Structure 1
Amino acid sequence: MEEFSVRHRRFVANYFAGKVKELRFQLAIVVAGCDKSLSTFTSGGEVSRDNHQAVLYGFSAFTNVIQTLKDAVKTVTNEQLDWSKIERLRHGSFMRNVRNAATHDGNPVISGWADGRYFVPSKIVRIDGFGKTIEIPAPAEDVRAICLDFAEDFCLLLRETLIAAGGIEHLKGSKFSIEEVEDAFANSTFIPPFAKELFAQNREKIEADLKDLKHDPIADAVKELGEVIQYCDSVKGD
């Protein structure tokens, strides 16, 4: 298995919680768009084009964050998260394949709408990078239910994977080394000269403070994953 440097793993670990927040952000856009569509339809109104686009583009962005988090958890833990595990989740196989369809083919995926709800109306047919024809069955559930069920299961899997991983204690501590901070101060055109001078005068203290930081990127990621799980559970009955 490919080994990742400690520095590389720390970089990705520091971004992980933020990427989980992005997953929730895109998921919430899809859910809000689906809810607004149903509410508007129920009240006899006309669903706007902007709302359709929010669901369509939000779903596309949501599927791409899935791939990012899959890759990130491999880098952080140095353990492969196989698609076979993800495919066992609710709608796991569907999400894997439509991510490819949306990213590589530009397929909109969501092209069905009925009674205020968004659907994938029929199977999707695509040709993969090896020239093989892939058929993706259309789920019976609407897009809102698909995204919430998958997101909940996926975040549970990511959380379990991070908690179970060993050898990640060395990722704790400051997000940056003193050399990285120093380089940023030296090369940034946005930092005024007086700030650069202050940094130079206090370099040793700043270095000591960095070493004392208790930042734990894995704990932060686990917390954010829990927030997504709670969010999914809280809106399922709406």
Structure 2
Amino acid sequence: MTRIYAAVSNKGGAGKTTLVTLLSGEYALRGERVLLIDADARKNLSGWWKLCHTKGNVPENIAVTIAATQRSIETEIARLGRSFDLIVIDAPGVDSTILSTIIRTSQIVISPVQPAIKEIEAAGQAAAAVNEINDEFGSRILHFNVRTRITVPGRNLEAYRYIRPFVAGLVAADYQTTLLETELFERNVYREIQNGLGTLQMQELTETVRKARAEVQALVTEIEQKRADIVREEAA
């Protein structure tokens, strides 16, 4: 059965598109057929895809489509979904009426969290939106927070130290959300691949790329492990 994940944050520039491309490259490398849906009006994801074609850096096992309305999202999933193992939706970076459709359609919602107050607040809003939909429809959509654009000096920032207790506070308030242990550091290669260089996994294996790939591999492994744990719990 096709799995559907979504990158959600109502804070523009939070790193959703970068997260989507990183995840898709890793899943594709593992042999999964991945469909990316660009639902953001800024079209950063489809812009990257167009540049990849222009420069001859088209990733294998990945396809991209645009769907910026509720009906088009549902149509594209119905039309293409069975041809793919995984669908990843790049959601709008602002509050939008289609966000509820994107969340309701997904099994996992992932919110990138930078060490800054507005990004942290946006992740909290995404967690609230997921929980509201779960309560309304009796669903079990998972919400994960992943720390992104981390730097070694940044770990000393008050905002960085606030992320873990913030998510713990949401959990204490009965929100179903999780802070993933894997962190994605700020790396120039992430910006470079947005210029049509394909995926991270297609880059020459320099030391920087090696470290970046290790982080993304760990992130995908953690996501799938937590998903499998929930599936086992529900089957028990």
What TM-score bracket applies, with the shorter chain setting the length? under 0.3
Higher share in strand: 2
> Max radius of gyration: which structure?
1
Q: TM-score, normalised by structure 2?
A: 0.24
Higher share in helix: 1
